[in-house]
A and B are shown apart, each in its own frame.
Chain A
């Protein structure tokens, strides 16, 4: 536990050193003391090397192996809405429409999905906070379980106005905002664009979003054109994101063990 705390104190986008914190809340007892002042320059260099590793190799996490075009087809990712619901900006991503039902071009989906999964893997590798957002009631439980399984965060409930933009008042001052937001459905319950897309753009947080043929992909950093209504498709996405995040975190732990930054599971974390 202490070792994990040590690494958590080192990595991450904010460097907090020498923090001794005690909490009196039941269930969240956490005390850490990083007394690594003597070996600071070395650990810095090693951390830099670890962090730069994914930038040197193109597909360090082998994300392309996780899925194939056939898997996407079997999970009915290519099915879009009817012509009347089509959003103008989604036209480049559509392959064709048969009987007025739009079909999403799966080649483009594969490229975009690979990019998106790479980004999630890199963010998870660097210990960033990933927030899963979806406002579909059917899949709320699924998304929350996925987030719990990877050790990341989820928000599938009513989005209160200032959660990102007014964070220091909504939560406590000194809160850390998510480093990546993944939208498993970009629309909210009244078929309007989710407020979080605009807020994330305001707060300069990169977003990944599964955009269906009735969604607006403009403000999303890494749009992934695909179906967001079928349970099979949603389960596929959740599975893919969970696998990438777990892989990235395992890789990070592996790298740190390799370079001797943390003791190999003396204290089980």
Chain B
């Protein structure tokens, strides 16, 4: 709307005009310009809070998404019925190729439920009565959870009292097997309840849960407790061992790849050899005149004590001499995994032979001479 902030005030001069008859008063209308600023009428957008979407709007978006999905499938020449999210992502990446670094800035097409934040629908019926009995507290899900939890604690205490009366109370009861699990984090709890909680509230919740766990007969509410615990995933990363192959002469060999900085290498390690190493068709002594690089090549073989046993055929490209040597070392270590036992493999991992070196060249920044070096500071 155009911010037309000029208003006109009309003043009527009714009385005081002589000669005007009561039946026909002379009204003189004068217009006075009042300038009001648009700043007064500008809405405070920050105070409005996050944008709210009506359920009808979300429904419309879902319909549009479904139709769009079918169009996309037709465009790509695939079956519209069995077009799942991976196919959508693939098609969008094909139709709208983007070189942007930030993955979130690239074009995407996802189901509206994943894009629009989950919001609560209207909390009351047509007569205005809210659905939830704790609605007027403001944090209904959290307080109803606490109410339920406390009810369960009281339940367990009542059960324990009943057993004590009969004299059947004993502390050696079946304890809940927690295994490797932890309590849900505050973020996960917020997600579960679809509303924000403060740290204080979360601490209270954990306190009460711990109290319930400490009671002897807490196994009564096992299901409820486990619902609020998260299993810890095993942290170990499996080492992918390259498969041991046999060539037509019956000799074992295995292939592996490695990289370091901008170098990429591929190595074929053959058994029953004499310790000869060929890189890009050349002998390693010619390819790496520097001792340091040759030492890098030898290190995995020397560590496992299999120096003279294998023949290595290597190819390497990119980078400089040091990074090529590092790439080859990684490739050799990976290939050796298939010839060596698990314990030895673990020893190699701990020695750092199997770790990909993540160090890459840091970019130069504007206003500086290099990545870290600043221009010479002049006092004046």
Tell me, rounded to whole Å, the shortest Cβ–Cβ distance linking B84 to chain A.
23
A171 touches B55 (CB 8 A): no
User: Which B residue sits closest to A164, measured CB to CB?
Assistant: B136
Please give, as numbers and ranges, the residues of chain A lying within 8 Å of B55 by CB-CB distance.
22-24
Please give, as numbers and ranges, the residues of chain B lying within 8 Å of A5 by CB-CB distance.
125-126
Selected interface stretch from A140-148, A206-214, A231-239: A140-148
Contact of B136 among A24, A127, A148, A178 (CB under 8 A): A178
- B303 located at the interface, meaning its Cβ lies under 8 Å from any Cβ of chain A in the complex: no
User: Which B residue sits closest to A128, measured CB to CB?
Assistant: B129
Could you tell me the distance between the alpha carbons of A213 and B262 in the complex, rounded to whole angstroms?
A: 83
Selected interface stretch from A57-65, A150-158, A218-226: A150-158
B129 touches A144 (CB 8 A): no
Q: Mark A20-37, 1 if CB is under 8 A from B, else 0.
A: 011111001010101000
Could you tell me the distance between the alpha carbons of A24 and B125 in the complex, rounded to whole angstroms?
A: 13
Chain B contacts with A in 276-318, Cβ cutoff 8 A: none
Please give, as numbers and ranges, the residues of chain A lying within 8 Å of B125 by CB-CB distance.
5, 8, 21, 30, 32
- A129 located at the interface, meaning its Cβ lies under 8 Å from any Cβ of chain B in the complex: yes
- In the A-B complex, the 7 residue pairs with the smallest Cβ-Cβ separation, listed nearest first, are A176-B128, A25-B121, A23-B121, A19-B126, A12-B127, A8-B127, A24-B55
Please give, as numbers and ranges, the residues of chain A lying within 8 Å of B124 by CB-CB distance.
175-176
Q: Mark B129-147, 1 if CB is under 8 A from A, else 0.
A: 1110111111100010001
| 8 A-B residue pairs with CB within 8 Å | A14-B128, A24-B59, A30-B125, A32-B126, A141-B150, A145-B151, A154-B136, A170-B138
B133 touches A144 (CB 8 A): yes
User: Which A residue sits closest to B118, measured CB to CB?
Assistant: A25
B136 touches A176 (CB 8 A): no
Among A144, A152, A160, A176, find the residue whose CB has the most chain B CB atoms closer than 10 A. Answer: A144
Could you tell me the distance between the alpha carbons of A163 and B138 in the complex, rounded to whole angstroms?
A: 8
- A180 located at the interface, meaning its Cβ lies under 8 Å from any Cβ of chain B in the complex: no
Tell me, rounded to whole Å, the shortest Cβ–Cβ distance linking B320 to chain A.
60
- A9 located at the interface, meaning its Cβ lies under 8 Å from any Cβ of chain B in the complex: yes
B147 touches A141 (CB 8 A): yes
Which residues of A are interface residues toward B (Cβ below 8 A)? 5, 8-9, 11-12, 14, 16, 19, 21-25, 28, 30, 32, 34, 127, 129, 131, 140-141, 144-145, 147-148, 151-155, 157, 160, 163, 170-172, 175-176, 178
Tell me, rounded to whole Å, the shortest Cβ–Cβ distance linking A70 to chain B.
29
Could you tell me the distance between the alpha carbons of A261 and B130 in the complex, rounded to whole angstroms?
A: 23
Could you tell me the distance between the alpha carbons of A131 and B138 in the complex, rounded to whole angstroms?
A: 13
Contact of A8 among B122, B129, B133, B138 (CB under 8 A): B129
A129 touches B129 (CB 8 A): yes
Q: A23-B121, A24-B58 are in contact. Are A154 and B126 (CB under 8 A)?
A: no
- B154 located at the interface, meaning its Cβ lies under 8 Å from any Cβ of chain A in the complex: yes
Contact of B131 among A28, A163, A178 (CB under 8 A): A28
Could you tell me the distance between the alpha carbons of A172 and B124 in the complex, rounded to whole angstroms?
A: 10
- B349 located at the interface, meaning its Cβ lies under 8 Å from any Cβ of chain A in the complex: no
B130 touches A153 (CB 8 A): yes
Chain B contacts with A in 50-71, Cβ cutoff 8 A: 55, 58-59
Could you tell me the distance between the alpha carbons of A112 and B39 in the complex, rounded to whole angstroms?
A: 54
Tell me, rounded to whole Å, the shortest Cβ–Cβ distance linking A152 to chain B.
7
B126 touches A155 (CB 8 A): no
A144 touches B127 (CB 8 A): no
B127 touches A154 (CB 8 A): no
Please give, as numbers and ranges, the residues of chain A lying within 8 Å of B139 by CB-CB distance.
157
User: Which A residue sits closest to B124, measured CB to CB?
Assistant: A176
- B106 located at the interface, meaning its Cβ lies under 8 Å from any Cβ of chain A in the complex: no
A127 touches B134 (CB 8 A): no
Please give, as numbers and ranges, the residues of chain B lying within 8 Å of A160 by CB-CB distance.
138
Tell me, rounded to whole Å, the shortest Cβ–Cβ distance linking B272 to chain A.
66
Please give, as numbers and ranges, the residues of chain A lying within 8 Å of B154 by CB-CB distance.
141
- B120 located at the interface, meaning its Cβ lies under 8 Å from any Cβ of chain A in the complex: yes
Tell me, rounded to whole Å, the shortest Cβ–Cβ distance linking B205 to chain A.
13
Tell me, rounded to whole Å, the shortest Cβ–Cβ distance linking B360 to chain A.
47
- B123 located at the interface, meaning its Cβ lies under 8 Å from any Cβ of chain A in the complex: yes
A16 touches B147 (CB 8 A): no
A176 touches B126 (CB 8 A): no
Please give, as numbers and ranges, the residues of chain A lying within 8 Å of B131 by CB-CB distance.
28, 30
B120 touches A154 (CB 8 A): no
Please give, as numbers and ranges, the residues of chain A lying within 8 Å of B59 by CB-CB distance.
24
Tell me, rounded to whole Å, the shortest Cβ–Cβ distance linking A35 to chain B.
13
Please give, as numbers and ranges, the residues of chain B lying within 8 Å of A151 by CB-CB distance.
133
Contact of A16 among B120, B122, B127, B134 (CB under 8 A): B127
User: Which A residue sits closest to B151, measured CB to CB?
Assistant: A141
Contact of A23 among B122, B134, B137 (CB under 8 A): B122
Chain B contacts with A in 87-141, Cβ cutoff 8 A: 120-131, 133-139
Tell me, rounded to whole Å, the shortest Cβ–Cβ distance linking A187 to chain B.
19
Please give, as numbers and ranges, the residues of chain B lying within 8 Å of A25 by CB-CB distance.
120-121
User: Which B residue sits closest to A167, measured CB to CB?
Assistant: B136
B143 touches A157 (CB 8 A): yes
Contact of B122 among A12, A21, A129, A163 (CB under 8 A): A21
User: Which A residue sits closest to B49, measured CB to CB?
Assistant: A169
A157 touches B150 (CB 8 A): no
A171 touches B147 (CB 8 A): no
Could you tell me the distance between the alpha carbons of A8 and B124 in the complex, rounded to whole angstroms?
A: 12
